[in-house]
């Protein structure tokens, strides 16, 4: 076994176990912290694929911003005590069915997708540095990139509008 | 990868680690001394000559203090908090270029633990992770004051990270690289970025104050309202870790400020020194210059601490969201216009 | 000239509520000014006195713990006239007089003496008026640096004769010194 394989196995074990712990732990704060560890190990997977930019972006966006806001809300809401709402049986059944469907779709995708690793080990080309990424993003994928940024902007403005207090007594 | 590189890098990492610790240790003494001087006092001068052994005495005291543990359901997280704070404070030093190439034993030695091409993003990433130490510690203390302190610290750091990132974008548009090594190479002699990006520097400086939780932004440990803030329940060396992490953070952020805006190890006349005195001597001077700049910034941190009173929380948020962020966006636009004008001018052959 | 405009010290500043200009609202100039003020203090003379090595000289009018004097033969001066109690603005002194017996002649100078003499140290303001009022030079405020020590009970702050009267051996020593001179 090569070192990279060992690291991959360890990372995968951490990812899976923390992902399950996120779902199963009773305390919402613990759950959020497990999710943080899960995100860290996923960043590790990106690093194994030699994509530094993606890894660090994943860290900044998910662990650095989103999960902190999550933790924030959980801490302020004080969900320490177990006050779960009992869900009706039909909802649970629906959840299980949709989970199975997604699993089937994902498995089919993974089976049918072409492995590209074999091709890119040998070319020795630089696929990952930010220079290359920037060129690719702003030349070939210019339009989708701009669309994504507009989508984010719209989402941001929408969030601001939603959270703004409506003026009463007009 | 040959073994010499591993040995070389481990030595550099060890030395950087030791220096960071030493600087953090002596920052505590410097803080007390500067505070005393600014208030017309002398400051600690009993331990050793002129108080030179005071940090050791402080450390010894912290180690021998009783370890208090609050009645918390999360003993593990209570321990993890200071550990995360400390390790994130130390991690950032990996990408800082402490000097140019040394030429020793027939090989070039780069004074940097690692030269990744996403160094700036790495720093921002580590900064954003640094919030966890405070948040987890504050929450696990099982104390309302700690929780309030932690929540304040987290929201403050998240808010100022945005302005910090935006102010750096203007700088990046100019330098065209994220690698700190290349950025410091570009600022050779007196081509310091602070002359080209003063607004960006100002915003970054303010955000650095906020990120390191220093006065005027030390609302996370605002004594008048929150007792000790997030470390109210901590004692002994766990408390020491939090305090130490703050000073390590201060050192690292001073180093980043020096490298990004004040030319890093560059000094006027460096190329002349390289020609006449050789690479190694020029480099040693460079390292000394970098450390002088860092010490200057650390002094500035302390100087401001004893000058400006603490902000109110709504003022802090107002400054972060409604002044600094629009200002940094304006800065980006101005930088873009200038770069575009230069490109058009060169295209048309002016 | 209206009364509002008069400034005898020449340093009067009128507080105004005027709108700040853009530059003033930036606070940058104000911050730099403040930094300069603190920087000036960095180089100013330090006021610290390094205590155990360096000691401040006592004020010549320092008034410390009270003492009831003895004369050269070791007899108490106090005659329990009560003038000190009368002059005390804080009502701290109280006493009870007694007549001297013939065998006590070497203990008390006058025929009447204070059998109880108490000063309530919680009330005393160390003004020294008792010292000025005393016709017999009996009560003095010494230059002793030991002031009233801390205690748990209020009763312990009422100093009786056991704490106030000058010890006999010191009185004898003083008498010897005086004779030598």
- DSSP state letters, B197-212: -HHHHHHHHHHHHHHT
C-alpha span between C168 and C77 (Å, rounded): 13
Comparison of pLDDT for B102 and A157, the residue scoring more: A157
C-alpha span between A81 and B144 (Å, rounded): 16
User: Using a CB-CB distance cutoff of 8 angstroms, which residues of chain B are in contact with residue A33?
Assistant: 77, 136
Residue A102 located in a structural domain: no
A168 pLDDT more than 60: yes
Q: Are A61 and A38 in contact (CB under 8 A)?
A: no
User: Using a CB-CB distance cutoff of 8 angstroms, which residues of chain C are in contact with residue B206?
Assistant: none
H or E element, residue B101: strand B101-104
Q: Is C88 known to sit in a ligand binding site? A: yes
How far apart, in Å, are the Cα atoms of A119 and each of A124, A131, C7? Answer: 10, 21, 89
How far apart, in Å, are the Cα atoms of B12 and each of B19, B90, B97, B233, C160? Answer: 10, 14, 11, 36, 74
H or E element, residue B190: none
Q: Which domain holds residue A4?
A: 1-80
Q: Closest Cα partner for C161 from C67, C87, C79?
A: C67
* B42/C34 CB distance under 8 A: no
Q: Closest Cα partner for A29 from B135, B79, B159?
A: B135
* A130/B116 CB distance under 8 A: no
Nearest CA in chain C to B35: C42
Six-digit token string for B31: 């803080």
Mean pLDDT of all residues in B299-318: 87
Q: Helix, strand or coil for residue B104?
A: strand
**Residue where the block lists tokens 């690292």:** B252
B73 pLDDT more than 80: no
C-alpha span between B285 and B199 (Å, rounded): 29
C-alpha span between A86 and C136 (Å, rounded): 94
Mean pLDDT of all residues in B231-245: 83
pLDDT of amino acid A13: 92
pLDDT of amino acid A153: 92
User: Is C54 in the B-facing interface, judged by CB distances under 8 Å?
Assistant: no
Q: Are B149 and B131 in contact (CB under 8 A)?
A: no
Residue A160 located in a structural domain: no
Q: Are C151 and C157 in contact (CB under 8 A)?
A: yes
Q: Is C78 known to sit in a ligand binding site? A: yes
B25 vs chain A: nearest CA distance in angstroms?
A: 28
Q: At what angle do helices B236-261 and B75-91 cross, to 10 degrees?
A: 30
Q: How does DSSP assign chain C, residue by residue? A: --GGG--SSS-------PPPPHHHHH-HHHHHHHHHHHHHHHHSPP----TTTS-PPPPTT---SEEE-B-TTS-B------HHHHH-TT--EEEEEEEPPGGGTTTBSSSEEEEEEEEETTT-----HHHHH-TTS-EEE---S--PPP-SSSGGGEE-HHHHBPPHHHHHHHHHHHHH-
Topology of domain C66-180, CATH: Alpha-Beta Plaits (3.30.70)
Chains in touch with C (≥3 Cβ pairs < 8 A)? B
Instruction: Indicate which of B34, B40, B296 best probes the interface with C, i.e. most C CBs within 10 Å of its own CB.
Output: B40
Mean pLDDT of all residues in A151-170: 82
Alpha carbon B149 to chain centroid distance? 21
Kindly give, in sequence order, each residue whose CB lies less than 8 Å from that of residue A115, ignoring residues fewer than 6 positions away.
none
* B38/C37 CB distance under 8 A: no
pLDDT of amino acid A105: 93
B75 pLDDT more than 60: yes
B64 pLDDT more than 90: no
Residue A153 located in a structural domain: no
Residues B333-343 have pLDDT tens digits of 999 898 888 88
Nearest CA in chain B to A129: B117
Q: At what angle do helices B198-211 and B325-348 cross, to 10 degrees?
A: 150
Mean pLDDT over each residue of chain B, to the nearest integer: 84
* B121/A33 CB distance under 8 A: no
Residues B173-202 have pLDDT tens digits of 888 888 888 888 888 777 788 888 888 888
User: Is C37 in the B-facing interface, judged by CB distances under 8 Å?
Assistant: yes
C-alpha span between C25 and C19 (Å, rounded): 9
ipTM over 0.85: no
pTM of the model: 0.79
Pick the most confident of A67-71, A95-99, C146-150.
Answer: A95-99
Report the percentage of chain B scoring pLDDT > 90.
Answer: 2
Strand order in the sheet with C112-120: C93-99, C112-120, C158-159
How far apart, in Å, are the Cα atoms of B26 and each of B51, B59, B82, B83, B211? Answer: 11, 11, 20, 21, 21
**Residue where the block lists tokens 């002044």:** B323
Residue A47 located in a structural domain: yes
Comparison of pLDDT for C117 and B263, the residue scoring more: C117
Residue A23 located in a structural domain: yes
Comparison of pLDDT for A122 and C96, the residue scoring more: C96
How far apart, in Å, are the Cα atoms of B124 and each of A49, B192, B259, B321? Answer: 22, 22, 15, 18
Instruction: Indicate which of C30, C46, C49 best probes the interface with B, i.e. most B CBs within 10 Å of its own CB.
Output: C46
Mean pLDDT of all residues in C136-161: 86
Q: Closest Cα partner for B130 from B159, B163, B158?
A: B158
Q: Is C134 known to sit in a ligand binding site? A: yes
Any idea how long chain A is? 170
Q: How many domains does chain A have?
A: 1
Over the range B253-279, which residues count as b (16 or more CB within 10 Å of their CB) and which as e? bbbbbbbbbbbbbbbeebeebbeeeeb
Nearest CA in chain A to B143: A75
Domain map (residue ranges) of chain C: 66-180
pLDDT of amino acid A150: 94
CATH number at residue A74: 1.20.120.1200
pLDDT band at residue A86 using 50, 70 and 90 as cut-offs: low
pLDDT of amino acid B41: 87
Residues C7-40 have pLDDT tens digits of 888 787 777 777 877 777 777 888 888 889 888 8
């Amino acid at each position: 076994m090569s070192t990279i394989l060992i690291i991959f196995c360890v990372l995968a074990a951490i990812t899976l176990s923390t992902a399950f712990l996120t779902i199963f732990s009773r305390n919402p704060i613990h759950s959020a912290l497990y999710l943080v560890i899960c995100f860290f190990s996923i960043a590790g997977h990106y690093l194994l694929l030699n994509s530094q930019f993606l890894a660090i972006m994943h860290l900044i966006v998910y662990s650095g911003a989103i999960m902190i806001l999550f933790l924030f809300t959980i801490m302020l809401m004080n969900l320490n005590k177990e006050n779960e709402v009992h869900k009706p049986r039909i909802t649970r059944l629906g959840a299980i069915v949709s989970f199975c469907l997604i699993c089937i779709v994902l498995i089919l995708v993974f089976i049918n997708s072409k492995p590209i690793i074999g091709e890119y080990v040998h070319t020795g080309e630089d696929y990952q540095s930010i220079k290359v990424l920037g060129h690719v993003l702003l030349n070939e994928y210019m339009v989708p990139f701009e669309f994504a940024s507009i989508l984010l902007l719209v989402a941001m403005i929408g969030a601001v509008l939603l959270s703004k207090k409506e003026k009463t007594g007009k | 990868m040959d073994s010499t590189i591993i040995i070389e890098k481990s030595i550099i990492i060890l030395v950087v680690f030791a220096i960071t610790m030493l600087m953090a240790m002596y920052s505590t003494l410097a803080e007390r001394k500067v505070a005393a001087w600014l208030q017309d006092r002398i400051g600690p001068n009993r331990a050793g000559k002129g108080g030179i052994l005071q940090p050791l005495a402080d450390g010894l005291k912290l180690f021998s203090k009783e370890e208090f543990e609050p009645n918390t359901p999360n003993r593990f997280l209570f321990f993890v908090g200071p550990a995360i704070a400390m390790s994130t404070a130390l991690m950032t030093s990996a990408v800082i270029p402490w000097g140019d190439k040394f030429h020793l034993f027939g090989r070039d030695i780069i004074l940097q633990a690692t030269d990744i091409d996403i160094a700036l993003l790495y720093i921002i990433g580590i900064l954003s992770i640094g919030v966890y130490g405070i948040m987890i510690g504050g929450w696990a203390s099982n104390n309302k004051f700690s929780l309030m302190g932690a929540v304040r610290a987290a929201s403050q750091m998240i808010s100022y990270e945005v302005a910090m990132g935006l102010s750096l974008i203007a700088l990046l548009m100019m330098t065209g690289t994220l690698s700190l090594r290349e950025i410091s190479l570009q600022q050779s002699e007196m081509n310091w970025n602070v002359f080209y990006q003063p607004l960006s520097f100002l915003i970054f400086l303010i955000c650095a104050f906020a990120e390191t939780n220093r006065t005027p932004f030390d609302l996370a440990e605002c004594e008048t309202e929150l007792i000790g803030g997030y470390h109210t329940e901590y004692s002994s060396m766990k408390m020491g870790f939090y305090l130490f992490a703050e000073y390590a953070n201060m050192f690292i952020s001073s180093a980043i400020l020096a490298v990004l805006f004040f030319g890093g190890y560059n000094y006027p006349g460096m190329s002349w020194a390289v020609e006449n005195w050789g690479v190694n001597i020029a480099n040693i001077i460079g390292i000394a210059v970098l450390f002088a700049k860092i010490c200057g910034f650390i002094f500035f941190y302390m100087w401001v601490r004893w000058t400006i009173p603490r902000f109110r929380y709504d003022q802090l948020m107002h400054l972060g969201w409604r002044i600094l962020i629009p200002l940094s966006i304006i800065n980006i636009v101005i930088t873009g216009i200038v770069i575009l004008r230069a490109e058009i001018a060169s295209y048309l052959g002016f | 000239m209206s009364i509002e405009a008069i400034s005898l010290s020449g340093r009067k500043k009128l507080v105004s509520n005027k709108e700040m200009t853009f530059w003033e609202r930036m606070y940058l100039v104000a911050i730099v000014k403040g930094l300069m003020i603190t920087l000036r203090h960095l180089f100013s003379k330090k006021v610290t006195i390094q205590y155990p090595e360096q000691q401040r000289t006592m004020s010549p009018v320092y008034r410390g713990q009270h003492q009831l004097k003895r004369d050269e033969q070791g007899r108490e001066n106090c005659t329990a006239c009560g003038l000190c109690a009368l002059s005390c603005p804080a009502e701290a002194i109280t006493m009870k007089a007694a007549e001297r017996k013939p065998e006590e002649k070497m203990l008390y100078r006058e025929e009447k003496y204070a059998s109880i003499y108490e000063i309530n140290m919680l009330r005393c303001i160390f003004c020294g008026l008792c010292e000025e009022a005393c016709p017999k030079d009996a009560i003095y405020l010494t230059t002793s640096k030991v002031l009233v020590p801390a205690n748990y009970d209020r009763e312990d702050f009422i100093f009786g004769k056991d704490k106030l009267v000058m010890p006999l051996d010191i009185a004898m020593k003083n008498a010897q010194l005086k004779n030598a001179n």
